[in-house]
Structure 1
Amino acid sequence: MKRYVSIWFRHLITDRWVIRHPDLKDTAFVLAAPKAGRMVITAASADAEKQGILSGMVVADARAVEPNLQVFEDKPGLAARLLSALAEWCLRYTPIVAVDCDSGLILDITGCAHLWGSERAYMKDITARLRGSGYDVRAAVADTIGAAWAVCHYGRITPLIEPCKQSQAIAPLPPAALRLDAGILERMNKLGFYQIGSFISMPRSILRRRFGQQLLSRLDQALGQLTENILPVCPVEPYQERLPCLEPIRTAPAIEMALSKLLEVLCSRLLKESKGIRKVLFKAFRMDGGVQQIEIGTNSASCNQQHLFRLFQLKVSSLRPDLGFELFILEAPVVEDVEQTQETLWNISGSNDQAEIAELLDRLTGRGGMDIVHRYLPDEHYWPERSIKTATSLLDKPQTKWRTDRPRPVSLLPQPELIQVSAPVPDYPPMLFRYKGQVHKIKKADGPERIEQEWWIQDGLQRDYYCVEDENGARYWIFRLGHYGTNQPEWFIHGFFC
């Protein structure tokens, strides 16, 4: 059965101002923005509301009520940014958190409350921490979003609505608790419908004819007869495991213990589904609201818990717990199918174990970064710098064969670099060339080897490559671009043989 929590920040923006400016506590102040040539109040503090100053009033009228009223300029989008940040903070309680209009949050707590012992303890922890941060909040939990929202905003009873009791919970509440449009509420007030219980049992045809479909939809949502969906601030990863902590975690051994437990559960689940991890994130939520994370990747899909743990161990020291971590989340955003293979007692083929090679590469990249290990495959292009491509997985297979009929340099430059040469005879290698300020006199040369662009390229250029050796025995791969003729050809260095 689904369970939802509705949280209402009664003075969201003004509470934030008091948090940032403690001297405003117990002071009547408002935030205002220009509208139709006048300054209109967008948010009023609790002390201002006690004096009858509400959102929507003109600042001049409000000052007539309270001459000492302090007015600050409202910043566009501030409420949305605050709610988004608070929603991310609430991820420590549930993976599904959504923003509710401009002053609240909706939490799907299905299967989460038992980690705190009970729903009452769960709710107490959320509200106590938010109030301790300086926010004036109300919260309620129910089977449906509509019922939780109604009790949170208008209820005068316990905020914990027992399962299947939403009908009794919303019956004494006003129609506004159903989140209806102002026009519908006005018509209902004229007809004397002051409580939901006064019309909840009326025939649906009469309600639809008098008040429209919205009333029926909202009523069905509150009663659980119509599904209401929410849009989480963070999409829920299908492969995610969570571990809340009863006490703050500060030490590396304790962090590694939590990581090991999460890996055990996640790898066990993936093994059952014949899947392996290619990328996995370990997120640590701090007591002060901060979130830190470390990430690892694998060269091939893996469910080897010990191997993945060793990769994480290389980065655990980068986590800074400060006051301590209260929640750990392990999620695998990238997984791949893995083939189940029959193990043998001994390997008589003499071939390399693909899994061991992949794990070795994972450890190397874990220590030095993803950029220190590269694997290349041949590609169907003529020019050398385009005849190779980077492989992202050990499972990638070449689509063509490596060219072995001609010598190729041990080190190939990513792009050819221009050199100055002395080459008076056409179709012959130069007598010397200058590269990075150093002159190399050529003693031996082999070539030319002509390499053209693909036939479908309109401006098909030609390169004449030479393997040359200087007086020190160093060998280079150089080429001439273009033919001798009216335009002076250019020379480039492209690689090194030794």
Structure 2
Amino acid sequence: MSHRRILSLWFPRLGAERIMRAKRGGMAGPLAVIEELSNTQVISALNNAAVSEGLWVGQPVRDAHAMCGHLLTRSRNIPAEGAFLTALQRWAGKYSPWVAEQAPDGLVIDLTGCAHLFGGESGMLTQVEEDCTDMGLSVQLGMADTLGAAWALARYAGVQAGSDRSGDAISQEARATRARAQKRTPKDSAKRRHWTRGGAAPQTVTLPHGVARIAEPGQTYGALAPLPVAALRLEGTMVSQLNRLGLRQIGELMDQPRASLARRFGRGLVMRLDQAMGSAPEPVSPGSAPDHFAVRLTLPEPIGLIDDLMAGVDRMLPRLCARLEARGKGVRSLRLEAHRTDQAAEVVVVGLARPLRDPARIRPLLEMKLDQIDAGFGIDMLRLEALQVEPIHARTVAGHVQAGAVAQQRADGGTGLEDLIGRLGARVGLEAITRYHPVDTHIPEKTAKVLAAAWSEPAENWPAAPQSRPLLLWPPELVNASDGPVLSVQFRWRGQDWQLAQARGPERIAPEWWLDDPNWRNGVRDYWVVVTSSGARLWLFYAHGGGLSAGWFCQGSFA
């Protein structure tokens, strides 16, 4: 019976070495990658030169600069580190197709039945180390029958189980404390403080290539027993609790009754033990490649007419839409590449208002862009690629309330507005097309917000206003009228005298007291619908004064 073999790769300096690779050797001195934790800047990754200076991961940046005055620092870029780890996952596919990421700085490979292709397990580990050296990466490896054991060997092989400096540990170490403090180097001090925090990542240890990192088939218990309990992928608080009870090695933990461990520490501890020993399954699940939708058409003779280009599009577009439909996706951004005979390429990009996979609806948008293509001496290859895709979910409209919406969908298929937005967007850009959506507020100028039409749904029900609202709204403009809240017969606005013919009101609107709106600091307003002798219908209000002086203002006009 063949044993399952798992290889774990740990890149302890991934963040710093990624930056050094990007700079192509331009950083030869100490380098630290920093991040902010609890309003404090701490080190998240170091290169070899910084480690030799006695710095450690988790150290405050101000302390690191005090120890190493010529230290270079860079901010941590978590998305970039994730993308770099994904690239390393593709590289590790040369050893086995079953490769999975262990964020933020590790990989795991299921090597069952693959090691003999590289000269055995020892030969494979040597090959992996050589590849990582060529890439400028530091790596620590561990191989065992289970994922948990391989993870522990990669990170904790050769690390001695320490104490939490409590209980009997204090009495055992007290006599030698002063002597060691005088002889301790800054580097040793850094290691000690780093380890006593409990549950943190261990310091990297240089080991000779051999059994120290490889647990032979069936020898998982012997390989894990001397390792610290933190090698079981436990939380720091649980590691500290176990250390205070005198349980510092995995072997000591395995000798304890499982029932008592589960009652005191929960089933998580027992589960980690079972996973490390192989009693609980923990498969390696490789990440699936992202969906990529593209089709290509190679032409026997160069073409240059728009009709010929559309004939090529008509052959490619149905194939692309069929692939999208098979995966339940729709395209939101589409790119057409026209490769010319002189090795140049003309590219046009089309954005869609909704994710689509209907060739008949996408074709007109592409046709509008073809006049931007310069055929030159001829085009011999066309390529159509979906740059951005989104899932398309089936919609079911039911009930009497949506009867009008159902009738509209039956009339035009529910696509007329979307197609219009798509065609206008092909000319002026989708970001230039907006629509209004209702907002639940009683403030007149805040009752609607502007959204991009291509990335929003039409509003179905607008809330009814307590009183009629003007068609046009503008910022309040000063009106010269009486000083009091009584509407005068004559008033002056925009340099013109107006005669009052009819008025309806007042409608009192109070400001939002929970917000400090500068436009409403003049207090409560009384709104009036005013009809002038010339027939103009205006929306006037009297501000009673709050933080500002009182007075009359005009804010809108009715149709």
Structure holding more helix per residue: 2
> What is the TM-score when the length of structure 1 is the normalising length?
0.46
> What is the TM-score when the length of structure 2 is the normalising length?
0.42
